[in-house]
Structure 1
Amino acid sequence: MDTRQVVPTLAALQLIDKLRARHGPLLFHQSGGCCDGSSPMCFATGDFIVGDRDVQLGEIGGAAFYISPSQFEYWKHTQLIIDVVEGRGGMFSLENGEGVRFLVRSRLFTDEEFAALQAQGRV
């Protein structure tokens, strides 16, 4: 049973390694909304101020992954799968200009997995 709330694909891990080599330590933020806000955004640590109420879902490739409180409420029943697809990245996200962008895929947790998350106080 995999109850990690955020998991990367191999392609995401490879892009994270490439961006870390260029920019140093990284973090991700998923805010929701339209335009760039609907994609996971990758920043150099220190270039983005995490909100006091933002929720850290976990880490991907050694980079902390945060989500806004409103998005957490919406997505808490799902595992976020961070992938990479061809296309232009978010305007402020570090993969901009790479010809690829991060993308969120998701799957619903089973009832058993969600109960385990609740027992751990993670939702």
Structure 2
Amino acid sequence: MPGFLTTHVLDTARGRPAQGMEIVLYRLRDGERHELARLVTNADGRTDRHILPAEDFAIGTYELEFHAGTWMDASGVAAESLRFLDVIPIRFGMSQDDHYHVPLLVSPFGYSTYRGS
């Protein structure tokens, strides 16, 4: 099975998907980040297509950048004078041709992630 990457963002403070969050995918090579995709989450908190489709998949180190601060501002989450969380980077490796799913569970003061299915 050719590899590919998906993601999903859930607003754990309000118990619903995080619609409208911008996500940027980078591949890290030779100490530099190369932008591969820039997508926005839909009503289900997912992207409308794989963030890294099978035809573009390559084993390596990647980084997902979740623009949580901008999303919180746009979705009416009360802001402190300076947001505790703004851009959330998650750096991870993909070492085999497989489906990698990297979700983000987010609230104004914390987040978690894991390798999902």
Give the TM-score normalised by structure 1: 0.31
More strand by share: 2
Greater relative contact order (CA < 8 Å, ≥ 6 in sequence): 2
Give the TM-score normalised by structure 2: 0.32
More helix by share: 1
